Amino acid sequence: MLFNSYGFVFAFFPLVLAGYYLCGRIEEKQGGGRRIRGLKMLFLLMASLGFYGWSHPEYLLVLLGSMAVNYLLFHFMEKNPRGSLATGLFFDLGLLFVFKYLDPWSFVPLGISFFTFTQIAFLMEGFRGNLKEVSPLSYGLYVSFFPKVMQGPIALPGELLPQLASKPSGGKDERQADWERIYRGLYLFVLGLFKKVLIADTLGSAANFGYANLAALNSGDGLIVMLSYTLQLYFDFSGYCDMAMGIGQMLGISLPLNFDSPYKAADIMEFWGRWHMTLTRFFTRYLYIPLGGNRKGRLRTYGNCLLVFLVSGIWHGAGIQFVVWGLMHGLLFVLTRAWKDFQNESHFRKERTCSPKKKPPLLQKAVHAFGVALTFLYVNIAWIFFRAPSVKEALSLLKTIGGFSFGRINWELAGNFNLDEFWYVIKVLRIDRWQYAHYILMVLILAAVLFLVFFGRTAVSRAEKAKPGVANALLLAVLFVWSVLSFSGVSSFLYVNF
Amino acid sequence: MKAKNPFQRTILFFLAFVLAAFVLAAALVVYVDPFFHYHAPLPGFPYLVDNQLSQNPGMAAYMEYDSVILGSSMTVNFQTTWFQELMDLNTLKLSYSAAYPKDQANIMDIIFKSKNNQGQRRLKKVFLGVDVITYTGGVEETKYPIPEYLYDDDILNDIQYVLNKDVLLNYILRQVADPEATDLSNVYASWWTEEYYSQEWVLHNYSDPPRTQEETPGDAYLAAVEKNLAENICPYIEENPQTEFVVFFPPYSILFWNDVLKENHLEATLEEYRYIAERLNAYENVEVYFFPDREEIICDLNNYADYSHYHPRFNRYMAECFAKGEQRVAKEGEEGEGIDGHLARMREIALAFDYEGLLGKNNG
Residues 6+ apart with CB under 8 A from A279: A117, A152, A154, A312
pLDDT at B141: 84
Residue type, B51: N
Domain that includes residue B166, residue range:
33-363
The pLDDT tens digits for A6-16 are 999 999 999 99
Q: Do residue B14 and residue A186 have CB atoms under 8 angstroms apart?
A: yes
Question: Is residue A329 within 8 Å of A384, Cβ to Cβ?
Answer: no
pLDDT, tens digit (0-9, with 9 covering 90-100), for A289-300: 888 878 888 888
- Predicted pLDDT at B3: 61
pLDDT exceeding 90 applies to what percent of chain A? 65
CA dist., res. A454 & res. A469, Å (int): 28
Q: How many domains does chain B have?
A: 1
Dump pLDDT digits (tens) for B248-291.
Answer: 999 999 999 999 999 999 999 999 999 999 999 999 999 999 99
Is residue A245 in some structural domain?
no
Give φ, ψ of B247 to 5 degrees.
Answer: -100, 130
Q: What is the pLDDT of residue B114?
A: 94
Contact between A196 and A240 (Cβ < 8 Å): yes
* Residue-averaged pLDDT of chain A: 89
> Between residues 234 and 293 of chain B, which touch chain A (CB distance below 8 Å)?
none
Q: Give A-chain residues touching B304 at CB under 8 angstroms.
A: none
Query: Measured between beta carbons, which residues in chain B are less than 8 angstroms from residue A205?
Result: none
How would you list the strands of the sheet with B244-249, edge to edge? B91-93, B67-70, B125-129, B244-249, B286-290
- Better-scored residue on pLDDT, A495 or B145: B145
The A-side interface with B (CB below 8 A) comprises: 6, 10, 176, 179-180, 182-183, 186, 420-421, 424, 428, 468-470, 472-474, 476-478, 480-482, 484-493, 495-498
pTM of the model: 0.88
Q: Is residue A414 part of a domain?
A: no
B27 part of a folded domain? no
pLDDT at A382 over 80: yes
Note whether residue A235 is domain-resident: no
Cα of B223 to nearest chain A Cα, Å: 23
Q: Is the pLDDT of residue B363 over 50?
A: no
What pLDDT band is residue A493 in, cutting at 50, 70 and 90?
low
Contacts of A466 (CB under 8 A, 6+ apart): A183, A184, A187, A472
Q: What angle do CA B37, B39, B43 make, to 5 degrees?
A: 125
Residue B115 lies in a domain: yes
* Of residues A10, A482, A490, nearest to B164 (C-beta): A490
The predicted-structure confidence for B298-351, as pLDDT tens digits, reads as follows 999 999 999 999 999 999 999 999 999 999 999 988 888 999 999 999 999 999
Whether residue B2 lies inside any domain: the answer is no
- Regarding beta strands B67-70 and B91-93, do their DSSP bridges make them parallel or antiparallel, or are they unpaired? parallel
Contact A147, A243 (CB under 8 A): yes
Residue of chain A with shortest Cα separation from B35 = A490
Residue B111 lies in a domain: yes
> B155 — contact with chain A (CB < 8 Å)?
no
Residue A351's pLDDT band (cuts 50, 70, 90): low
Say if residue A103 is exposed, middle or buried (CB neighbours under 10 Å; 0-12, 13-18, 19+).
Answer: exposed
What are the tens digits of pLDDT across the range A277-289? 999 999 999 999 8
Choose from A134-143, B10-19, B201-210, B334-343 the range with maximum mean pLDDT. Answer: B10-19
Residue B20 included in any domain? no
Q: What is the mean pLDDT of residues B64-83?
A: 94
Residues 290 through 329 of chain B touching chain A, CB cutoff 8 Å: 306, 308-309
Residue A166 has pLDDT above 70, yes or no: no
What whole-number distance in Å separates Cα of residue B306 and Cα of residue B206? Answer: 7
Question: What is the tally of structural domains in chain A?
Answer: 1
pLDDT of B364 reads 37
Mean pLDDT of A76-84: 89
Nearest to A6 among B9, B145, B159 (CB): B159
Q: What is the mean pLDDT of chain B?
A: 92
Considering the domain boundaries, does residue A209 fall inside one? no
- Answer whether residue B11 is part of any domain: no
* Domain membership flag for residue A359: no
pLDDT attached to residue A494: 46
Which helix (H) or strand (E) is A127 found in, with range?
A: helix A112-127
- Report the chain A residue with the minimal C-alpha distance to residue B167: A490
Residue of A nearest to B145 (CA): A491
Containing domain of residue A147, as a range?
6-161
Average pLDDT over residues A38-66: 92
What three-state secondary structure class fits A456?
A: coil
Mind telling me how many Å the CA of A176 is from chain B's nearest CA?
7
In a domain, A147, yes or no: yes
Whether A390 is covered by a domain: the verdict is no
| pLDDT for B122 | 93
Identity of the residue numbered A265? A
pLDDT of residue A349: 74
Task: Check A470 against B169: CB less than 8 A apart.
Answer: no
For residue B173, give Cα distances in angstroms to A25, A418, B92: 47, 17, 26
Quote the pLDDT of residue A167.
60
- Dump pLDDT digits (tens) for B114-162: 999 998 899 999 999 999 999 998 888 888 878 888 888 888 889 999 9
pLDDT value at residue A168: 55
Domain of B339: which CATH number? 3.40.50.1110
Mean pLDDT of B76-83: 95
- Is residue B19 in a domain? no
Q: Are B340 and B281 in contact (CB under 8 A)?
A: no
Long-range contacts of A125-134 (CB under 8 A, 24+ apart): A125/A156, A125/A157, A125/A158, A126/A74, A126/A77, A126/A84, A126/A85, A126/A157, A127/A77, A127/A81, A127/A82, A127/A84, A127/A85, A130/A157, A130/A158, A131/A74, A131/A157, A131/A161, A134/A74, A134/A161
Query: Catalytic site residue A316?
Result: yes
Q: What pLDDT shows up at residue A354?
A: 62
Considering the candidates A316, A329, A368, A438, report the single residue annotated as catalytic.
A316
Pick from A330, A159, A177: nearest CA to A245:
A159
Does A22 fall in a domain? yes
